[in-house]
Amino acid sequence: MSKTLFEKIIAREIPAAIVYEDDYVLAIRDINPQAPVHVLIFPKKLIPRIAEATGDDGKLLSHLLLKAAEVAKKLGLKSGYRLVINNGADGGETVPHLHVHILGGRHLAWPPG
């Protein structure tokens, strides 16, 4: 099975603008930003999508969301931001590796699309 794009970034096989990293997650700037601030944060453990996460992933998922909030604060998103998780083709998923989009830096309208 070939590596996902994010696994290649974790392995430093593909360069990325890293915003945050610890033993469990990595946050990078999106190469096709949809807002002035658009960062992707993902677990280093491969979970293809949120629908495939299990109860054993609970601590990692908690860590992922808490670090997303920490990264948003670090990026200066004081007046708000949006966290987005896409699941499956109809949900807009393009990389089969669970990731959270951190979007901010402008007013974000609703509904999103």
> Which sequence positions are flagged as catalytic?
99
CA 93 to chain centre: 12
Could you give the CA distance from residue 20 to residue 74 in angstroms, rounded to a whole number?
9
- Reduced to 3 states (helix: H, G, I; strand: E, B; else coil), residue 89 is helix
Helices (H), 14-90: 58-74
Give yes or no for a cis peptide into 111 (omega within 30° of 0). Answer: yes
Strand order through the sheet with 100-104: 18-21, 25-29, 37-43, 100-104, 81-84
